């Protein structure tokens, strides 16, 4: 189900007929997806539906088996030598933060620009402080990640990804590993980011977030995209039975 | 009669009660055995009455050391001979043992990092070489490796001195064992660290150097200390090719005057003292890195 109403001239991510297998198991089936610049997409679905696998394919943390994925006009394939360049343009935020525990918060943020982009130290430092300010934790710059709370760590992870000036940000269940009282601070950071015009793809169960910022909500089940719609239509008038059932379970609380 | 306790030092000591130990017969044997048993039980009781675990350990250690010394003393050793040789055993023997081991462990450390990275890489060539290397050097006795290298290299056309040959053998052998330690250390780092690095666009080498190794080295250092202590003792094997380290001196210095026991016992005590010092250092290092882990 390609989205014909998207402006075909400017999709930053374009996925066509993509399949992904883990051994015999088919994790993703016939995925078609275009993401326009500045678009904010929320992917939801029951666990094991392939939503994390889908966004992990976009920066090739997982390799797809057939079909095509284009990121900013570059096709991802097996023999590419410059996958690192694509990855450096796609920011990723993980469920478990994946901060580097032996480096300070500041060093976590300057590492990417300095080692990959060869940005001079002073400039990287400025960049890092700019984004640490943006996620509201500049005062933690010289601490180590394990000295921070989960919510603070996730905000550092967001700042670290932003330091690479990515064209797209991928969020893989960014609030799932957090204590409930820390979810809000991370979501606020993400909303702020969305309002600044960043292109975002978020795998999340935070339906409030989806309603507030998403341009489109995608529902996945058993490795397929079942339904795609604008948030209001998606929540108020779901088309498929599976979506209705899922929403009934998620929105109950 | 397999053991006649009345002939022992304790029997001599009891002479006022049992008369001449050799003539004392069943009565002498009984009294000495009984005295020994009594002393043993009394000792156990006294130790169990000591207030702290720590004191108990110290007292038992002192007793065992005294027993050991009595045992060595009973060999009727020539202490004058030991005194005349011990200086040389330290300056030549211990010095050589220590520097051969230190150089070897340093080389083994480098080999092990390369071996571990090769074993974890997806490059078939690198993996094949690394796994062949560890299989071969872990599969052969170290003594055999020492001979093969010392006698094998001249066959290839270049003669190699005993000391470098010994160092090569020790570092290759321990490099193989340490490769496995390093591999385990690297593998114990969470997969998320690799993903986080990859997502930022870091290549394999950069991730290894800046993210994975700095986190695994603290895990690797303590077992490497253990390997060093083990190597210190295994370095005695290079004595067979004529390296003048501690074991070589222990075997040769007493030959001329038939003072074998003197030299062997002296060397044994020197090895023991060295490892005790190293174990102390090792436990310090371990504590330091454990603290760092907790940070």
* Each residue's pLDDT tens digit, A95-139: 999 999 999 999 999 999 999 999 999 999 999 999 999 999 999
Alpha-carbon distance of B61 to A150, in angstroms, equals 50
- In 3D space, the residue among B276, B267, B205 whose CA is nearest the CA of residue B239 turns out to be B267
Q: Are B268 and B145 in contact (CB under 8 A)?
A: no
Residues A3-32 pLDDT 10s: 444 444 579 999 999 999 999 999 999 999
Which residues neighbour B67 within 8 Å (Cβ) at sequence distance 6 or greater?
A: none
Supply the pLDDT for residue A3. Answer: 44
Q: Nearest-CA distance from A37 to chain B in Å?
A: 20
DSSP annotation of A147 reads G
Q: Of B192, B193, B201, which has the smallest distance from its Cβ to A112's Cβ?
A: B201
Alpha-carbon distance of A194 to A184, in angstroms, equals 15
Residue B4: pLDDT above 90?
no
DSSP string, B39-57: HHHHHHHHHHHSSSHHHHH
Q: How confident is the model at residue B72 (pLDDT cuts 50, 70, 90)?
A: confident
Residues B226-264 pLDDT 10s: 899 999 999 999 988 888 888 999 888 888 888 888 888
Residues B77-86 pLDDT 10s: 888 888 888 8
Select from B189, B201, B204, B212 the residue whose CB has the most chain A CBs within 10 Å, as the one to mutate to test that interface. B201
Select from A115, A118, A119, A128 the residue whose CB has the most chain B CBs within 10 Å, as the one to mutate to test that interface. A115
Give chain A's contact residues with B (Cβ, < 8 Å).
59, 61, 84-85, 87-88, 90-92, 94, 96-102, 111-112, 115-116, 144, 146, 160-161, 164
Residue of A nearest to B203 (CA): A84
| CA dihedral over B179, B181, B183, B185, signed as positive or negative | negative
Residues B157-167 pLDDT 10s: 888 899 999 99
Chain A CB contacts of B201 under 8 Å are 84-85, 87-88, 112, 116, 164
User: Based on the number of CB atoms within 10 Å of its own CB, is B154 exposed (0-12), middle (13-18) or buried (19 or more)?
Assistant: exposed
Query: Within a 13 Å sphere around the CA of B41, how many CA atoms are in the beta-carbon half?
Result: 6
């Amino acid at each position: 189900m390609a989205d014909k109403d998207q402006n075909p001239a400017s999709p930053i991510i374009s996925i066509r007929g993509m399949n992904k297998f883990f051994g015999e198991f088919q994790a993703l089936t016939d995925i078609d997806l275009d993401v326009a610049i500045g678009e904010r997409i929320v992917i939801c679905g029951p666990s094991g539906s392939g939503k994390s696998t889908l966004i992990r394919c976009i920066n090739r943390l997982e390799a797809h088996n057939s079909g095509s994925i284009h990121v900013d006009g570059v096709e991802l394939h097996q023999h590419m030598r410059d996958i690192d360049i694509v990855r450096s343009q796609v920011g990723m935020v993980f469920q478990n933060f994946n901060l580097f525990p032996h480096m300070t918060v500041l060093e976590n943020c300057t590492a990417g620009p300095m080692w990959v982009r060869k940005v001079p130290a002073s400039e990287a430092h400025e960049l890092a402080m700019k984004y640490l300010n943006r996620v509201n934790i500049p005062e933690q710059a010289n601490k180590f990640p394990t000295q921070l709370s989960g919510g603070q760590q996730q905000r550092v992870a967001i700042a670290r990804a932003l330091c690479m000036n990515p064209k797209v940000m991928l969020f893989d269940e960014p609030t799932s590993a957090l204590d409930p009282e820390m979810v809000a601070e991370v979501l606020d950071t993400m909303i702020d980011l969305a309002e600044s015009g960043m292109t975002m793809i978020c795998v999340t169960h935070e339906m409030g977030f989806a309603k507030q910022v998403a341009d489109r909500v995608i529902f996945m089940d058993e490795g397929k995209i079942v339904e795609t719609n604008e948030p209001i239509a998606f929540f108020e008038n779901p088309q498929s039975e599976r979506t209705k059932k899922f929403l009934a379970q998620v929105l109950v609380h | 009669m397999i053991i006649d306790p009345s002939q022992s030092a304790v029997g001599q000591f009891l002479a006022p009660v049992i008369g001449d130990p050799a003539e004392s017969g069943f009565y002498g044997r009984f009294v000495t055995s009984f005295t020994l048993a009594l002393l043993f039980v009394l000792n156990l009781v006294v130790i169990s009455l000591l207030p702290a675990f720590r004191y108990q350990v110290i007292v038992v250690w002192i007793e065992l050391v005294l027993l050991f010394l009595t045992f060595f003393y009973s060999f009727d050793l020539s202490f004058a001979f030991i005194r005349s040789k011990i200086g040389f055993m330290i300056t030549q023997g211990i010095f050589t043992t220590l520097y051969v081991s230190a150089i070897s462990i340093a080389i083994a450390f480098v080999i092990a990092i390369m071996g571990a990275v090769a074993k974890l890489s997806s490059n078939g060539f690198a993996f094949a070489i690394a796994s062949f290397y560890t299989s071969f050097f872990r599969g052969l006795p170290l003594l055999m490796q020492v001979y093969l290298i010392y006698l094998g290299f001249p066959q290839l056309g270049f003669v190699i001195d005993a000391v470098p040959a010994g160092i090569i053998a020790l570092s290759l052998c321990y490099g193989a064992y340490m490769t496995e330690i390093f591999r385990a250390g690297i593998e114990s780092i969470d997969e998320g660290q690799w993903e986080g690095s990859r997502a930022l666009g870091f290549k394999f080498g950069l991730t290894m150097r800046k993210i994975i190794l700095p986190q695994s080295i603290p895990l690797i250092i303590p077992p490497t200390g253990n390997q060093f202590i083990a190597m210190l003792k295994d370095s005695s094997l290079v004595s067979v090719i004529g390296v003048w380290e501690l074991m070589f001196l222990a075997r040769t210095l007493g030959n001329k005057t038939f003072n074998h026991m003197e030299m062997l016992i002296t060397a044994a005590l020197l090895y023991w003292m060295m490892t005790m010092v190293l174990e102390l250092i090792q436990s310090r290092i371990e504590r330091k890195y454990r603290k760092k882990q907790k940070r």
